[in-house]
């Protein structure tokens, strides 16, 4: 079987973490499937890939030329590899209309898998008239729809009603459960460790709410540290930490590799996520895979993976409640069974589990096409 993947988001030389969760999903697909990634690239960038995955860069000079560049490169793929059995679009915009056109022109079934939080009620109002049309066009020409959570599937249908007519299922994010492994024995530490990993986008991640809560909690106790891994700097957050005298409590660590994040999770007492909206955060699955419990909000798809065995739930934007939950977790994180937390994670996000789901969907769609 030949599958052409068209990811709207994908890692590149300047942003190696951009859409890396999409690449991880593609990598789970079995060796019996020949996967071809078709993605625009402004430089000669090729990610390291397994032997059954080929990368076809799409080069263009002007944005208006991008659709024609995809069409031309798709023709080269057919000439080199033969007609694909499926087109798999990862995130509907901006490349959905291109993928739908190629599917319609060549009579190839189109699968859409979605990760984007734009379908959330508070975000969909930002969609332009063109984007709304593009979504309708793309979903109308799809053969199957997946999303990383049931919550996101519901929001897709609410945003693009035509999607309700299509077969659909949940295929969650994938975690390297060998890398993100059970924490080993940890040497005694003077202070307990809390970890937060995000882009520091305050609208989504409410980093300022976290810092306000940590500031209040530091007035009660000084036996903890908050380590923050982040792709980008947040000057407002850094200034707040400095002005509130939290430099010895809050540490901005910058960007870290997956290996480094796994080690930090293994060395943490618990993970913290105080988001206003989410879909299915990879960082929660990574935390669970290391057997590390979390404090988190019940937004988006989080209630589908967080439960009494692995998490303490706090109401979004309720900073006073967050202070109480953090205070509780600092004293009780060791009560959680790390082996149970890890096993529940492996059952839903390991590469074998996700790869099997894709294989079943691919065979189902091609059998019905």
Angle at 345 between CA 339 and CA 349, to 5 degrees: 150
- Whether pLDDT at 294 is above 90: yes
The pLDDT of residue 332 = 97
Q: How many CA atoms lie within 13 A of 192 on its CB side?
A: 18
- Whether pLDDT at 81 is above 90: yes
Residue 80 CA from chain centroid, whole number = 32
- Whether pLDDT at 249 is above 70: yes
- Whether pLDDT at 88 is above 90: yes
Residue, of 271 and 49, whose pLDDT is higher: 271
| Domain 2-174+350-368 matches domain 192-348 at the CATH topology level | yes
Q: Where are the domains of the chain?
A: 2-174+350-368, 192-348
The pLDDT of residue 44 = 66
- Whether pLDDT at 358 is above 90: yes
**Choice among 50-64, 242-256, 325-339 with the minimum mean pLDDT:** 50-64
- Whether pLDDT at 177 is above 90: yes
Please state, for a pLDDT cut of 90, what percent of the chain lies above it.
88
Q: Return the CATH number of 2-174+350-368, one of 3.40.250.10, 3.90.76.10, 3.40.50.2000, 3.90.1310.10.
A: 3.40.50.2000
- Whether pLDDT at 142 is above 90: yes
- Whether pLDDT at 185 is above 80: no
**Per the structure block, which two tokens stand in for 239?**
């200034």
Residue, of 359 and 11, whose pLDDT is higher: 359
The hierarchical CATH code for the domain 192-348 is 3.40.50.2000
Q: Read off the pLDDT band of 286 (50, 70, 90).
A: very high
> For 10-43, what is each residue's pLDDT tens digit?
987 777 778 889 999 999 999 899 999 999 876 6
> For 296-337, what is each residue's pLDDT tens digit?
999 999 999 999 999 999 999 999 999 999 999 999 999 999
Of the candidates 151, 83, 94, the one whose C-alpha atom is nearest the C-alpha of residue 117 is: 151
Instruction: Compute CA distances 40 → 174, 244, 259, whole Å.
Output: 24, 45, 28
Q: In whole numbers, what is the pLDDT of the chain averaged over residues?
A: 95
Contacts of 122 (CB under 8 A, 6+ apart): 276, 277
Q: Which residues of 45-69 are buried (b: 16+ CB within 10 A; e: fewer)?
A: eebeeeeebbbbbbebeeeeebbeb
The gap between the terminal CA atoms of the chain, to the nearest Å, is 14
**Interval 184-202 mean pLDDT:** 88
- Whether pLDDT at 221 is above 80: yes
**Interval 76-84 mean pLDDT:** 96
Of the candidates 299, 303, 358, the one whose C-alpha atom is nearest the C-alpha of residue 171 is: 358
The pLDDT of residue 43 = 63
């Amino acid at each position: 079987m030949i599958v052409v993947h068209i990811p709207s988001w994908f890692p590149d030389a300047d942003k190696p973490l951009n859409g890396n969760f999409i690449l991880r999903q593609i990598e789970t697909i079995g060796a019996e499937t020949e996967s071809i990634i078709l993605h625009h690239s402004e430089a000669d960038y090729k990610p390291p890939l397994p032997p059954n995955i080929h990368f076809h860069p799409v080069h263009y000079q002007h944005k208006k030329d991008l659709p024609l560049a995809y069409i031309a490169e798709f023709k080269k793929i057919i000439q080199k590899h033969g007609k694909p059995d499926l087109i798999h679009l990862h995130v509907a915009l901006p490349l959905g209309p291109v993928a739908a056109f190629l599917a319609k022109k060549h009579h190839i079934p189109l699968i859409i898998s979605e990760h984007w939080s734009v379908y959330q009620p508070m975000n969909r109002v930002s969609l332009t008239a063109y984007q709304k049309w593009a979504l309708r066009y793309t979903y109308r020409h799809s053969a199957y729809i997946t999303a990383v959570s049931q919550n996101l599937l519901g929001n897709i249908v609410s945003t693009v009603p035509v999607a309700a007519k299509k077969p659909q299922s949940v295929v969650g994010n994938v975690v390297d459960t060998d890398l993100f492994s059970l924490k080993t024995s940890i040497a005694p530490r003077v202070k307990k460790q809390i970890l937060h990993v995000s882009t520091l986008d305050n609208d989504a991640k409410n980093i300022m709410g976290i810092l306000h809560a940590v500031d209040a909690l530091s007035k009660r106790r000084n036996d903890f540290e908050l380590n923050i891994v982040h792709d980008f700097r947040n000057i407002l957050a850094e200034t707040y930490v400095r002005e509130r005298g939290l430099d010895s409590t809050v540490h901005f660590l910058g960007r870290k590799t997956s290996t480094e994040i796994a080690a930090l999770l293994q060395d943490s007492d618990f993970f913290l996520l105080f988001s206003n909206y989410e879909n299915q955060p990879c960082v929660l699955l990574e935390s669970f895979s290391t057997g590390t419990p979390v404090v988190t909000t019940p937004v988006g798809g989080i209630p589908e993976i967080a439960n009494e065995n692995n998490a303490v739930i706090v109401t979004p934007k309720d900073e006073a409640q967050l202070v109480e939950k953090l205070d509780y977790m600092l004293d009780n994180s060791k009560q959680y069974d790390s082996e149970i937390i890890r096993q529940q994670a492996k059952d839903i996000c390991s590469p074998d589990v996700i790869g099997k789901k894709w294989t079943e969907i691919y065979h189902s769609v091609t059998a019905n096409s």
